[in-house]
Amino acid sequence: MKLIQSNIKTMSSTQLGELLGYEKKEVNRKILAMFQSEIDGGIISPSFDSRGYIEEYNLPEVESQMFAAKWNIKHLRKVVEFFVSAPKPMSQLEMIAGMAGAMVEVERKQTEQARALEDITTKVERLETSDKVLTSCPVNAEGITSICARMNIKYSIPAWAVKEIVRGSHGMRPAGNVQNQHESAKGATYVVWWVSDVTAAFKRISESCERITTTLVTHPEVSKRFKLIN
């Protein structure tokens, strides 16, 4: 196997393709899908052809190992060996350490991508849910009666103040409208809010109130003074 010089710390899409048996076009596509943030952040630099189109990418050593490790251990071994500056083989401990580090980095990247996807999915679900009439209340949402009871237990805030805060301009987007399933309700609906949004809003309110007495406070977003005990 031909080794690169020790002062060269990157691999191009062409080199990766030749080493791992992929076409450069396929390598470019996989690099873009796997390392979008690194490309945007300048860690992975593109090379352009005469027309200004991206011809290939240049990956640092760690990202090259991560790319290879995503597919199989044999690919990772080839890339690790590619970056060895001397023609002598790596020791077993060096090889294990190199592969272990690359695998840890791959797992970290996959975890970050999974969390990002989960956040996006949650935001989309919230937007979609808020415009629908639901047949039952989501497990992570609650109605105004439940909110009043919870905030009274936690902060001793009276129900009228809780309702004013929840229904005011405090950035809490309703989770949706739930259809009352009781026959006497005749299809009436009630609004529910996300528990996490409610909790965060009341925490903010409680921390920014002006204390008047040991039990009474005022807040610019509430019409009159009200009881609050932290």
pLDDT of residue 171: 57
pLDDT of residue 160: 92
pLDDT of residue 129: 47
Q: What is the pLDDT along the chain (230 residues), one digit of tens a residue?
A: 333 333 447 889 999 999 889 999 999 999 988 888 888 788 888 888 888 888 899 998 888 889 988 888 888 888 888 887 545 555 667 667 777 777 777 777 777 776 766 655 555 444 444 456 667 778 888 888 889 999 999 999 999 999 988 887 555 778 888 876 665 556 677 788 889 889 998 999 999 999 999 999 999 888 899 999 97
Query: Which H, E and C letters describe the chain, residue by residue?
Result: CCCCCCCCCEEEHHHHHHHHCCCHHHHHHHHHHHCHHHHHCCCCEEEECCCCCEEEEEEEHHHHHHHHHCCCHHHHHHHHHHCCCCCCCCCHHHHHHHHHHHHHHHHHHHHHHHHHHHHHHHHHHHHHHHCCEECCCCCCEEEHHHHHHHHHHHHCCCHHHHHHHHHCCCCCCEEEEEECCCHHHCCCEEEEEEHHHHHHHHHHHHHCCEECCCCEEECCCCCCCEECCC
- CA-CA distance, 36 to 12, in Å (whole number)? 16
pLDDT of residue 155: 94
pLDDT of residue 71: 80
| pLDDT tens digits, 5-43 | 334 478 899 999 998 899 999 999 999 888 888 887 888
Sequence spans of domains, the chain: 10-125, 141-227
Report the predicted TM-score, pTM, of the whole model to 2 decimal places. 0.42
pLDDT of residue 175: 81
pLDDT of residue 45: 87
pLDDT of residue 36: 84
Q: Give 119: exposed, middle or buried? Use CB within 10 Å, 0-12, 13-18, 19+.
A: exposed
Mean pLDDT of the chain: 79
pLDDT of residue 140: 87
| pLDDT tens digits, 202-215 | 999 999 999 999 99
- CA-CA distance, 31 to 95, in Å (whole number)? 24
pLDDT of residue 184: 59
